[in-house]
Amino acid sequence: MPFPRLPRLLDAALDRLVVPGYSKLGYLARSAGWEALPSDALAGRTVAVTGASSGLGAATATGLAGCGADVELVVRDRGRGEAARDTVLAAHPDARVTVARCDLADLADVRRYALDARDRLLALHGLVHNAGVLPGERVETADGHELCLATHVLAPFLLTRELLPLLRAGSPPDRPGDPARVVFVSSGGMYTASLRTDDPEYTEGRYSGGAAYARTKRMQVVLAELLADDLASAGVAVHSMHPGWADTPGVADSLPGFHRLTGPLLRTAEQGADTAVWLAAAAEPGRCSGVFWHDRAPRPTHWLPGEESAAQRAALWAFCVDATSSAPTH
C-alpha cells in the first residue's frame, strides 16, 4: 500500500530548491506515494533504448524488462551492449533482450540501424532517446555537426522519423489511449539554456561543453513538443523528462567535482531511470503528449523568462529536417 502522494505545493517547492528535488531526497519523498508498475504492463511489447550500455540507459532497460517488455539495447559498442544485456538478464532471466549496434553520432549509421530494425521488428511500443554526452571540447562528427547536437537532437529526430512505421504499428487503433511512446531523456540543466536556433552548431563565442549540453537538452524538450504535434495523427505520444541527479559512469567521468561533492545525495541509476520507464509503461502518459516530466509529474519547461517564440520553434524544426535529410545512407 503506497503512502499518500506528496502535496503538490511541497513537491513544487522541492523542485524549485533544486538540491532536495533533484537528489535522492526528492525521489524518496515522492516515490513513497507511487503505485508499483505491474510486471506485465508491457508484456509482448518491444521498447528500444539508446545508450543502453551504461548508467540510466541500462537501468531503463532493466526497468522495462521488469514490466514484461522485450527490450532492444541500442548501443555503439557491441561488447558493452552484451555486458548490459547480462545485467538485464541477471535481474529478469526470462526477458527477451536484443543488442543492436548504432553510433548515434553518425547519421548514416542511424539510417542503417533503422532499416535493420524495420526488417527485424514488427512494432515498437516505445523508443527512449537516452544516449548522451558531455564533451570537454568542441568536437565535430563525420557529418560536420557539433557532437552534443548530433547525439541529443539530430539522431533522435532522424531515428524517430525513420522508425515511424514501427511506432505506428505499436499504436493500433483497437488500443485507444495506449499509444506507442517516444521519450527524450533531457536534463534539469536545460533550465539554464534558451533555445539557440541562431547558432545551433555552437560556432560562435567560446565553446563550453556544459553550455553545449544544456543548449541541446533544451532543444530536446522543444523537439519533443514539436514531434508530439507532428505525430498526433499517427497516434504516437512524445514526452521529455529529466532524471534528477543520478550516480552513473557518465556523471563520474564528465563531472568528477560534482560527483565528489554530491556523492551521498545522488540517486541510484534505477531511481533516475524510473520516470523514463513509467512514461513508457503507465496509463497516464498515454493519455497526453508533449509534456515535460520529472519524478512522474509534469514540470514547467521554464523557470526564467525566455520562452521560445513560434518562429524559433519553427526554425528548430526546419534545421532538423534540413540537417537530417541530407544525411547519406550507408
Catalytic residues, by residue number, are 213
In angstroms, give the least distance from the CB of 7 to ligand NAP: 26
In angstroms, give the least distance from the CB of 263 to ligand NAP: 12
Is 69 an interacting residue with respect to ligand NAP (CB under 6 A)?
Answer: no
Stretch that binds ligand NAP, among 131-139, 166-174, 285-293, 305-313 (CB under 6 A): 131-139
Write each residue from 224 to 243 as x if it is in contact with ligand NAP (CB under 6 A), else as -, in one continuous string.
Answer: ------------------xx
Among 80, 96, 112, 118, binds ligand NAP (CB under 6 A): 80
CA gap 85, 89 in Å, rounded: 6
**Residue partners of 47: CB distance under 8 A and separation at least 6:** 64, 69, 70, 71, 72, 124, 125, 126, 127, 128, 280
Amino acid at 54: S
C-alpha cell of residue 313: 520553434
What is the secondary structure of 258-282 as a DSSP string?
HHHHHGGGPBPHHHHHHHHHHHHH-
Among 23, 46, 62, 151, binds ligand NAP (CB under 6 A): 151
C-alpha cell of residue 306: 525566455
Is 133 an interacting residue with respect to ligand NAP (CB under 6 A)?
Answer: yes
CA gap 99, 305 in Å, rounded: 43
Write each residue from 6 to 45 as x if it is in contact with ligand NAP (CB under 6 A), else as -, in one continuous string.
Answer: ----------------------------------------
Taking only Cα atoms into account, the Rg of the chain, rounded to an integer number of angstroms, comes to: 18
Is 187 an interacting residue with respect to ligand NAP (CB under 6 A)?
Answer: yes
Phi/psi of residue 99, nearest 5 degrees: -115, 125
Amino acid at 4: P
Size of the site for ligand NAP (CB under 6 A): 30
Among 69, 88, 124, 131, binds ligand NAP (CB under 6 A): 131
Q: Which helix (H) or strand (E) holds 97?
A: strand 97-101
Is 105 an interacting residue with respect to ligand NAP (CB under 6 A)?
Answer: yes
Q: Which residues of this chain interact with ligand NAP, rule CB under 6 A?
A: 50-51, 53-57, 75-77, 80, 103-105, 130-133, 151, 185, 187, 242-243, 245-246, 248-251, 272
